[in-house]
Copies of this chain bind each other. A is one copy, B any other.
Amino acid sequence: MISAKRVPIQFHSATLLLTIDLIGTFVFAVEGASAAVQANLDILGLMVLGFATALGGGIIRDVLIGAIPPNSIRDWRYPAAAFIGAAVVFLQSSFVNRVPAPLITTLDAAGLALFAVAGAAKALDYNIHPFLAVLMGGITGVGGGTIRDVLLARIPSVLRSDVYAAAGLAGAIAMVLALKLKLRPAIATTLGIVVCFTLRMVAVHQHWNLPRVMKH
Contacts and interface: CB of A to CB of B under 8 A. Distances in A.
A11 interface: no
Interface string A16-51: 000000000000000000001111111111101101
Given A41-B159, A68-B66, A151-B159, A135 B79 contact: yes
Given A212-B41, A216-B94, A48 B159 contact: yes
Interface in A147-187: 150-156, 158-160, 165-166
Q: How many copies does the complex hold?
A: 3
A59 B51 CA distance: 19
Nearest to A152: B155
A151 B165 CA distance: 15
A159 B38 contact: no
A140 interface: no
Given A94-B216, A150-B151, A213-B93, A131 B79 contact: yes
Interface residues of A, number: 61
A179 to B, nearest CB: 17
Given A44-B166, A131-B79, A131-B80, A37 B213 contact: yes
Interface of A: 36-46, 48-49, 51, 59, 63-66, 68-70, 73-76, 79-80, 89-90, 93-94, 97, 126, 128-129, 131-132, 135-136, 146, 150-156, 158-160, 165-166, 209-216
A-B pairs, 6 with minimum CB distance: A42-B210, A45-B159, A42-B212, A66-B68, A76-B129, A66-B69
Given A64-B68, A79-B131, 20 more contacts: A39-B160, A42-B209, A43-B210, A43-B211, A44-B159, A44-B165, A48-B159, A51-B135, A64-B70, A64-B73, A65-B73, A69-B126, A73-B132, A73-B136, A80-B131, A93-B216, A94-B216, A151-B155, A151-B159, A153-B155
